[in-house]
Structure 1
Amino acid sequence: MPTSHSRTGVASVCAAALTFSGLLVTGLFAAQPAAAADPAGFQNIRINEVTSSNNDTVELYNSGSTAVNISGWKMSDDAFSPQSFSPSAGSVPAGGFVTFNSPKGLGDSDKLVIYTADGTVVDRVEWATDGAKPAMARCGGDGTGAWVTATVAATFGAANAGGCPSSVPAASRVRINEVTSNGADTVELYNGGTSAVSIGSWKYVDGDTTHSPVSISSSSPSATSIPAGGYVTFSSGLGLGDNDSVFLLNSTGSTIDSVTWATDGAKPSDERCANGTGWFRTAVTATPGGANSCSGSGGGGGGQTGQLLGGGGALTSGCAPEAATGTGTTPAGTLAWPGGLDVTIADNVCAFTTSTGPEGRDISGLAFDPANPSVLWAAKNKNWLYKLVKSNGKWVPDATWSATGKQIRFAGGSGEPDAEGLTVGADGHLYVTSERDNTNNTAPKDTVMEFDPAATGSTLTPVHQWDMTAQFPQLDTGSKDDANLGFEGVGYVPDSWLTANGWLDPLTGAAYNPANYPLHGSGLYFAGLEWDGSLHVYGLNSDSSFTTFTTIATGKASVMDVTYDAATQRIVATCDNTCGETHTFLKVNAGGAIVPDVTYTNPAVMPADNLEGFAIAPASTCVNGFREAVWSDDGIYGFGSGSSSYGHALYSGTFPC
């Protein structure tokens, strides 16, 4: 549940190269392509500096949060067809630079176009006579700044600040500010300077290299100048599509600004955030002719960063979302989300209000049913379980099980478990963690409860219950906040994975032998502690006793959910905004210990809320190399009041198979 605590000293978790079935994969997965054969994040590669002298050097900059492979990419100028080039490195690191020398030379008045190996236009710049001497550079921000002729020595391989003039010309303060390919094909220009700029002879062109530039005045005869701090809009006569670009040229043919986007990136629009200066991102609402809304979509990147889709419906009475708390920093070495960039709101508004929890503390633990992946189980903090099924693309309560969820109790039918974590055991039963009894919320009650989902009635009581409260005296201070930092997540991990990967039993110092623990079933349970981000490994015995095996450091400040993913052969420890909305995948290392392997962020379009639940669908559900991933918001806050995500608890995206 949301708290106001903060964490420090989060350990870094760096990516490693892993081998699966003989295939080498960098990090953990090959990320989703933005187009058929284009590498993920290609829109974040921007031409950052170019010179038509001194070996005709070109600099590329990566504005994204993960490296982009540029193998096989090509370039052209205004006289020759696309040619291969030899970059200083095969990929451009996040926030880094790669340089190369033009294979055919660049002229005093020329243009440069960069293509992916599949022929998609990535970026383009044009300059007039001597415009690229000593260099043409983006000034005011690598990757986003205005194109200006450098006045001092070029700065290839480094930030452009040293090569930029002290004052950017007024015309270079005009920026493409918003663009839509949603039927109207509208382009908005913004003047960030202090004086009006004449644009009567300016032109624009799209990403089709067979098209010639078109004058703005032919599309909008009244667009002759832009006042200081003002806007001009015009409709593209060239048409704008998916995976397209707009390039703005002044009267001499020099590039003023550009934007490139992927599929649906300009629907409803692609806009700069902050207005006039920031990176482009997909908007929830187009605002041509006015300040950009900058709400409901992710940031960071020069092109498409995904969309948050769905929502709708008015916020109903009895549902009171709460703002996120406890926001912390993202661990160093974290990689960008490897799945799809788009995310869908996946539930009906205010769908999980109950008699014990109408105020906004909502869904926490999530788990796909491995025997029936069309079922998603969910735990609500104040002692409720839901069986969810898909209906019209949304996860809704299964009316044949309970349209309003089933209430759970502790053993003996008493109390209100503060249900947080949820997993499905090999027997098909639900194993739920609780931090405390909400009827006495100042005292911890860190327990794991086993429920039979086939049991009848509207209230479920445990088949077995295991109480580990005594192991965590630091939580028993009389403070409800401390009591609220116990078991947040739990994941069932099969013995077969532990033995196949050579896990050393911490209790014996030898290879784990399940036969040594005859009452524990066929796997162990990994409970995540919010207090310090550790995992606690238990054998849950059929006589209601338990075996404590070890504690595992995840390298994270907190853990909010735990899952075992058979497809990647990893245990996943999830943290919410406390540690940057991240997921750490853990493996068994060569020494037989379970250790962090790689950490990923959420898709950029998602809100930074108390997203406490995370589940990945089994590989059996894969379509075109991807499967569903689902997140739950404990506070149903979304992007706040008035946003399309306000009052919703579930988000759906994709994850590699």
Structure 2
Amino acid sequence: MAAAAALLAPAAHAAPADDVRINEVVTTGSVDDSIELFNKGTAAVDVSGWILRDDNNSSKYTVPSGTTLAPGAARAFDVAGSFGLGSSDKARLYLPDGSTLVDSFGWTSHSNPSWSRCPDGTGAFGKAPLTLGAPNSCGSGGGTGPVPWPGASTVATADGANVFGQDLSGLYQEGPVLWGAQNSGKLWRLVRDGSGGWKPDTANGWASGKTLRYPDGTGSPDSEAVTLTAAGAAGGAYVATERNGDASGTSRLSVLRYDVTTGTGGTLTATKEWNLTAGLPAVGSNLGFEAVTWIPDATLTAAGFKDESTGAAYDPNRYGAHTGGIFLLGVEGTATVHAYVLQDSGAATRVATFASGMSGVMELQWEPQAARLWVVCDDTCSGQHRTMKVGTSGAFTLDAVYDRPSGMPDINNEGFTLAGADECVAGSKPVYWSDDSNTGGHALRRGTISC
């Protein structure tokens, strides 16, 4: 199955076959065996019918009809259904005749997690973070190394003992309310406890959190993250999910919208689902969407954000009625961030894909006061945080890399959120983390960052 992650051009022009290169190979780990192709030339190339093989001539994966690579575009192909890539093996690319070799790469040990060319399309292969469908991670943020946490080194618990148990994941602060997504298919509405922490809202059926369902009223969405738009809770809560807990072995990478302002019952049925599974690289069923955040259109256009689906500056008017912004979604298994316009009609358009540069993405948060995107990893990356901004190229680029606060243990923090500018006191404001493992009986912790 092809894993779409490239810019597709409307028509391919004649171009040298050697413009297309094997660019990344994954042989084991969080995704199926995959081979990524990259067009290093200046014209689009139709690669329909081209053939991928390992070191066995009888192996064969045929690139699907209608597959075109625009200049500078990458596309990954899940070859696991056709052949496996071993610890000592090759990836080979042929023209449709099956005998004209275009490119090949061989290795003597499994990818860890990826074999990637640096620079894309032209450089040598080396071990790198997994970035299928996105620019290869050539070095640690272009030489940007981690620096100490930009706030107090100390953290404190911010919940009562054993209120949530395990699996509290994504967070989003909306002024006096903290929204929390729990993997067990539950959404929490939390209010301040008067001592710097949070407790469940006891009104309108929220005391134990509300159980989530798909639009047809069934299922148990594995809710990993939550965000709001400029409309706030009145516009609905948007929850990122990676699978239906009632069919836990199958990926279902979806964004679900819930009306959270009406009703007193203990169940919420989604008013809309955007199922994005088919257009993304295949990942393990528990390695899908782990993070979501929303950025206003006006912010993006002012920054010169580039729409990768058109190759031009982002124009919100192309997409009709939508939320007035784009959603960024982080995939745990590929450590990649995908940006989507989710239209009111139910259509979805991917407008950007970029690598986080880490081993996983557990949380995304847009901080409007600083016009920066927080990309957060858990104990997989020793609690590292990164910030990214829209650069002069119109793409998200690395801004800074931060270690976790020195006073916080290396725990399974899958959620992170920041207070607004209105909470800045003496140059700092609160931030909160959610620990999926409920270490020491506490799932929420509080720290600070500089305003």
CA distance in 1, matches of 2:179, 2:416: 11
Structure 1 residue 632 corresponds to structure 2 residue 426? no
Structure 1 residue 351 corresponds to structure 2 residue 158? no
CA distance in 1, matches of 2:398, 2:173: 23
CA distance in 2, matches of 1:408, 1:386: 10
**Counterpart residue number, 2:290:** 488
Q: 1:626 to 1:15 in 2, by over 3 A?
A: farther
**Counterpart residue number, 2:447:** 653
Matches within 5 A, 1:439-450: 439-450=246-257
**Counterpart residue number, 2:218:** 414
Aligned length: 315
Whether the aligned pair in 2 keeps the contact of 1:434 and 1:447 (CA below 8 Å) is yes
CA distance in 1, matches of 2:334, 2:379: 15
Which structure ranks higher in relative contact order (CA pairs < 8 Å, sequence separation ≥ 6)? Answer: 2
Query: Comparing both structures, which one devotes a greater share of its residues to strand?
Result: 2
**Counterpart residue number, 2:403:** 601
Residue identity in the other structure for 2:443: A
Deviations 1:321-344 (A, max 9, x none): xxxxxxxxxxx7111101111111
CA distance in 1, matches of 2:145, 2:339: 26
Structure 1 residue 544 corresponds to structure 2 residue 346? yes
Structure 1 residue 526 corresponds to structure 2 residue 341? no
Q: 1:551 to 1:14 in 2, by over 3 A?
A: closer
Whether the aligned pair in 2 keeps the contact of 1:13 and 1:596 (CA below 8 Å) is no
2:273 to 465, 485, 492: 465
Where structure 2 has 5 or more consecutive residues not aligned to the other structure, the ranges are 1-28, 31-111, 115-127, 130-136
Residue 382 of structure 1: CA displacement?
0.6
**Counterpart residue number, 1:452:** 259
CA distance in 2, matches of 1:607, 1:15: 28
Residue identity in the other structure for 1:648: H
1:396 to 183, 193, 199: 199
CA distance in 1, matches of 2:367, 2:281: 32
Three-state SS of the structure 1 residue aligned to 2:431 is strand
Residue 14 of structure 1: CA displacement?
5.0
Three-state SS of the structure 2 residue aligned to 1:407 is strand
Matches within 5 A, 1:83-162: none
Whether the aligned pair in 1 keeps the contact of 2:227 and 2:239 (CA below 8 Å) is yes
Matches within 5 A, 1:303-322: none
Whether the aligned pair in 1 keeps the contact of 2:157 and 2:445 (CA below 8 Å) is yes
**Counterpart residue number, 2:307:** 505
CA distance in 2, matches of 1:386, 1:518: 32
CA distance in 2, matches of 1:552, 1:628: 28
**Counterpart residue number, 1:124:** none
Q: 1:597 to 1:497 in 2, by over 3 A?
A: same
Deviations 1:325-379 (A, max 9, x none): xxxxxxx7111101111111011111014xxxxxx3x21000011xxx1111100
Residue identity in the other structure for 1:471: G
Residue 13 of structure 1: CA displacement?
4.2
**Counterpart residue number, 2:151:** 339
Deviations 1:10-49 (A, max 9, x none): 4544599xxxxxxxxxxxxxxxxxxxxxxxxxxxxxxxxx
Whether the aligned pair in 2 keeps the contact of 1:14 and 1:334 (CA below 8 Å) is no
**Counterpart residue number, 2:337:** 535
2:173 to 341, 358, 368: 368
CA distance in 2, matches of 1:368, 1:577: 23
CA distance in 2, matches of 1:483, 1:472: 13
CA distance in 1, matches of 2:389, 2:414: 22
Residue 647 of structure 1: CA displacement?
1.1
- Normalized against structure 2, the TM-score is what? 0.67
Deviations 1:391-427 (A, max 9, x none): 1322101112411111111111111011001111122
Residue 610 of structure 1: CA displacement?
1.4
Three-state SS of the structure 2 residue aligned to 1:483 is coil
Deviations 1:94-116 (A, max 9, x none): xxxxxxxxxxxxxxxxxxxxxxx
CA distance in 1, matches of 2:395, 2:347: 25
**Counterpart residue number, 1:75:** none
Whether the aligned pair in 1 keeps the contact of 2:373 and 2:389 (CA below 8 Å) is yes
CA distance in 1, matches of 2:403, 2:421: 21
CA distance in 2, matches of 1:518, 1:392: 44
Three-state SS of the structure 2 residue aligned to 1:474 is coil
Residue 504 of structure 1: CA displacement?
1.5
Residue 498 of structure 1: CA displacement?
0.5
CA distance in 2, matches of 1:515, 1:621: 34
Whether the aligned pair in 2 keeps the contact of 1:13 and 1:598 (CA below 8 Å) is no
Three-state SS of the structure 2 residue aligned to 1:598 is strand
Whether the aligned pair in 2 keeps the contact of 1:553 and 1:595 (CA below 8 Å) is no
Q: 1:339 to 1:484 in 2, by over 3 A?
A: same
Q: What is the identity percentage for the equivalent residue pairs of Structure 1 and Structure 2?
A: 37
CA distance in 2, matches of 1:7, 1:493: 30
2:238 to 431, 434, 440: 431
Where structure 1 has 5 or more consecutive residues not aligned to the other structure, the ranges are 17-331, 354-359, 476-481, 638-645
Residue 543 of structure 1: CA displacement?
1.3
Matches within 5 A, 1:236-255: none
Whether the aligned pair in 2 keeps the contact of 1:532 and 1:556 (CA below 8 Å) is no
Three-state SS of the structure 1 residue aligned to 2:298 is helix
CA distance in 2, matches of 1:647, 1:412: 35
Residue 653 of structure 1: CA displacement?
0.4
Deviations 1:583-629 (A, max 9, x none): 11111111111112111121012121211000011111111111110
Residue 7 of structure 1: CA displacement?
5.2
Three-state SS of the structure 1 residue aligned to 2:306 is coil
- Normalized against structure 1, the TM-score is what? 0.47
**Counterpart residue number, 1:571:** 373
Residue identity in the other structure for 1:368: Q
CA distance in 1, matches of 2:269, 2:151: 38
Whether the aligned pair in 1 keeps the contact of 2:229 and 2:323 (CA below 8 Å) is no
CA distance in 2, matches of 1:349, 1:15: 42
2:425 to 613, 623, 633: 623
Whether the aligned pair in 1 keeps the contact of 2:222 and 2:241 (CA below 8 Å) is yes
Deviations 1:423-447 (A, max 9, x none): 1112222110111111111101110
Residue 474 of structure 1: CA displacement?
2.2
**Counterpart residue number, 1:240:** none
Q: 1:590 to 1:472 in 2, by over 3 A?
A: closer
CA distance in 2, matches of 1:363, 1:464: 23
Residue identity in the other structure for 1:461: T
CA distance in 2, matches of 1:375, 1:389: 5
Deviations 1:222-244 (A, max 9, x none): xxxxxxxxxxxxxxxxxxxxxxx
Matches within 5 A, 1:176-215: none
Residue identity in the other structure for 1:598: A
Alpha-carbon RMSD across the aligned residues, in angstroms, is 1.8
Whether the aligned pair in 2 keeps the contact of 1:537 and 1:550 (CA below 8 Å) is yes
**Counterpart residue number, 1:321:** none
CA distance in 2, matches of 1:531, 1:558: 6
Residue identity in the other structure for 2:371: Q
Over alpha carbons, which structure has the higher Rg? 1
